[in-house]
Amino acid sequence: MPSLSLVALCIATGLVLWMASGYALARSLAFDRAVALALAPVLGWAVQNALALLLSLVVGFSPVATVGAVALICAAGLLRVRRDGSGSDHRIPPLTLWVCLAAAVMAAGPALAVLPKFIGDGVAVAPALFDHAKIALIDQIVREGVPPVNPVYGGAEAPAGVAYYYLWQFGAAQLAQLTGATGWEADAAASWLTAFSTLLLMAGLARRFSGRTLASFLAIGLSGLGSLRPVLAATVGEETLAHWLQPATGLAGWLFQTSWSPHHVQAAGCVVVAAMTMVRLARQPGALTTVTLALLAAAAYESSIWVGGVVFALAAAGCALFLARSRPARSRPAGGAGTFLLLGGIAAVVALAIASPLLVEQYRSAVARGGGRLIAIDPFEVLGPALPQPLGRVLDLPAYWLVLLVVEFPLVYLAGAIALARMAARPDKRPDTGPDTGPDGPLVRALAILAAASLGTGWLLVSTTGVNNDLGWRAVLPGLMVLTAAAGAGLARCMERRAALPLVLAMAAATATLPDGLRLAAENLAGKPSPSATAFARSPALWQAVRRHAPPDARVASNPALFADMTPWPVNLSWALFADRRSCFAGNELAIAFAALSSERRTAVAEQFRRVFAGDGTPDDIRALARTHRCDVAAVTVFDGAWSHDPFAASPVYRLAETEPGLWRIYVAGPRMAGN
C-alpha cells in the first residue's frame, strides 16, 4: 500500500523540479515576481516534461534526462536574466506565500481520491480511482522506459506502442524513478501537484486581473464548489429534474475533474499559460519565448488530445489573429504583425515535431481501429425527455449556455463571464510598459477568446473514439480556469465597493453549490466500502508471487473483473495498482482507451477472457490466450469461477508454477507457446 512519506517525497521532488525551473523561465520571459510564481509550476511542468521526454527517447529514461531537462531550462533562464537584468529582484511578497499555502491545502482534495482508505482489515477506495487505473502505465515507463509498450493489451493484431496521451504519466514516472516510489505513490503526488499548480495559476490570474490579493483567495475557494443539481433535485424532486434535464456527466468543475482526470486539467493549465505566452510573444518577440510556446503546446497535446489538441488549436488561431491586429506600439521596432505570425508559425511547427512520436502512434492506432472520424459536430445534449424531438435538440443549442453551464458552474460561469466581459470591453488606460498588475487589455481579450473557444468546443463538438464524450467534458477546462480567475477578481471588486446585490447573489450561489463540493470532497476522503475490501487489501501478496514467475517484459492474464465492485465500472484495480507487470488484456474499460482494436474485436476479446475466468473456457480459448494474446503467465484466484472449473489445469499450454491453497494458482506458458 502507498506510503505517505514517499508521496510527500515525490511532492517535494516535483516542486523542486518544476517550481524552480518554471520560476526561472517565467522571470526570464519578463513576468513580474508574483505572476512568475503563479505560472511557475505549470510552466515548469510543461517545459521540463516535454524536454525530458525528448531526451529520454535519445538517451533512455533515466535521471540524466530528467535533471538534464531542468538544467537546460535553468541555463536558458539565467542567460536571459543576466543579459537583460529582468530577474534581479527575487523577493516574493508574503501574501503570495499565504496564497500558496491556501492552494496547497485545497490541492489535498483531489490527491485524497487516489489514496486508499483503511477500514478495519480492508481497504476502500474513492470512485475516482477508477480513472487512475492508468497507474499501470506509470509503472510500465519506470520499468521499461519510453516510448512505452502498451501495458493493457499485447495481442498480435494491435500496435505495441501507446497511442494514449501519456505525458502526465511520464511526469509521474520521473518522480517514481527519482524517489523509488511506486506508481500509485507517484500518481497521488502528481495529482496533488496538478491541483496545486492549476490553483496557483487561477489565483495568480485573479490577482493579475484585479490587482488584489483577495481575488486570489476567492479564486481558490471558488474551485471547490460543485453543481446545483443536488439542490435542484431536493427542490423539485429527482424524477422531475430527470424529466427536464439530462443526467450529470463528466462535464463538471475543477474539483471533480482534477480528482478523476488530472492529466486533462494539467493540459488545460498548459493551454492557459500558452495563451499568456502568445501575448508575451506579441509584445517581445524572441527565440526563448518562441521555444517556450512550442514546448507548452506540445506538452498540452501530449497530456490531452482534446484540450491540448482541439481546444488549443481553435483558441490559438483566434488569439493569433487578434494579437496580430492589436500589437502594442512598443513592439513595432522589433517587428510587425508578420514577425509575430512567423514566430507563432515556427512555434507550431516545432510543437508538431516534438509531439510527432505520439502523433505517429495515434495514426497507427486509428488505422488499427478501422479509421473513422475522431470528432463529430453534435450539440451537447442538455434537455430531458419532457420536450418532444426534434424540438428538444433544437433547444439544446441555447440551453447549453442558458441552462447547463448555469446548473453546473453557476457562480464561476455567471460572475466570471460578467467580469471578463467588463474587463475586455474596458479601454487600455495605461501604457504597456507598466508593471504586471491590474487589468491588461490584450491579455484579458486573448484569454476571453480562449474561454469562448473552450466553452464553444464543448457546446458543438463530440469525440467518437470511445463510449464517453471526452472532448465535450474536458474542452471546457481552460475556459473554466479563466472564468474562475475572472470571477475571483470581480467578486473582490464587489467586496471592496460593498456592492450589496451582487454579493448577496454570489453568496446564494455559493451556498447552493457548496454541498456538492463537500460531497465530492467527503467521497475522496472516505471512499466507498465494498464487499471486496478485505480481499483487495490482501492482493499485493498475489502480485508479489506473480512477479517471481513473470520477467519485467512478461504479460499476465488475470480476471479483468476481479474486485470489480470496488469501482463504478469494472476494472481490475489490483492488477493496475500492484502488479508492476503488463497485462495481456486488462478489460474492456481500459482497452477502450489503450487497445487499438475495433469495437467488435474488443468485445470478442472481452467475452473470451470472461469465459476463461468464469470457468467456461475451452481448450481453444486457452491456446488463444498464449498464442494470440501473448499471455506468458496466468493468475487464477479463489474469487474466479475458474478456481473450481480451472481450464488452465487441463491444458498442455500452461504448467502450474506456484499455488497458495485456498487463494491463488499461478501458471506459466510453456516454451515459445506465448510467442507462437
Cell of 344: 507563432
Q: Is the peptide bond before 410 cis (omega within 30 degrees of 0)?
A: no
Category of 665 on φ-ψ map: left (φ > 0), alpha (ψ -120 to 50) or beta: beta
Mean pLDDT of 558-580: 93
Give the pLDDT band (50/70/90) at residue 335: low
The pLDDT of residue 650 = 87
Q: Which of 5, 357, 364 is nearest to 170 (CA)?
A: 357
Summarised one tens digit per residue, pLDDT across range 25-47 is 998 887 888 888 999 999 999 99
Residue 186's φ and ψ, nearest 5 degrees, are -65, -35
Q: Which of 253, 265, 188, 126 is nearest to 568 (CA)?
A: 126
Domain ranges of the chain: 4-92+167-428+438-524, 533-669
Cell of 91: 523577493
Category of 389 on φ-ψ map: left (φ > 0), alpha (ψ -120 to 50) or beta: beta
Summarised one tens digit per residue, pLDDT across range 173-225 is 999 999 999 999 999 999 999 999 999 999 999 999 998 889 999 999 999 99
The pLDDT of residue 288 = 93
Which range, 61-65, 91-95, 365-369, 593-597, has the best average confidence (pLDDT)? 61-65
The pLDDT of residue 95 = 67
Q: Is the peptide bond before 390 cis (omega within 30 degrees of 0)?
A: yes
Give the pLDDT band (50/70/90) at residue 428: low
Mean pLDDT of 101-118: 95
The pLDDT of residue 434 = 42
Give the pLDDT band (50/70/90) at residue 596: confident
Question: What is the H or E stretch that residue 657 is in?
Answer: strand 654-660
In the predicted structure, residue 329 carries a pLDDT above the cut 50: no
Question: What is the H or E stretch that residue 367 is in?
Answer: helix 337-369
Q: Could you give the count of Cα atoms lying within 13 Å of 134 in the half-sphere of its Cβ?
A: 26
In the predicted structure, residue 330 carries a pLDDT above the cut 70: no
Q: In residues, how long is the chain?
A: 676
Give the pLDDT band (50/70/90) at residue 435: very low
In the predicted structure, residue 275 carries a pLDDT above the cut 70: yes
In this structure, of 343-347, 373-377, 560-564, 636-640, the range with the lowest mean pLDDT score is 373-377
Q: How far apart are the first and last CA of the chain?
A: 37
Q: What letter does residue 467 receive in the DSSP assignment?
A: S
Summarised one tens digit per residue, pLDDT across range 67-99 is 999 999 988 766 665 555 544 455 566 668 899
Summarised one tens digit per residue, pLDDT across range 222-267 is 999 999 999 999 999 999 999 999 999 999 999 999 999 999 999 9
Say whether 431 sits in a helix, a strand or coil. Answer: coil
Mean pLDDT of 116-138: 93
Q: Could you give the count of Cα atoms lying within 13 Å of 89 in the half-sphere of its Cβ?
A: 8
Say whether 555 sits in a helix, a strand or coil. Answer: strand
CA–CA distance, 151 with 633 (Å, rounded to integer): 14
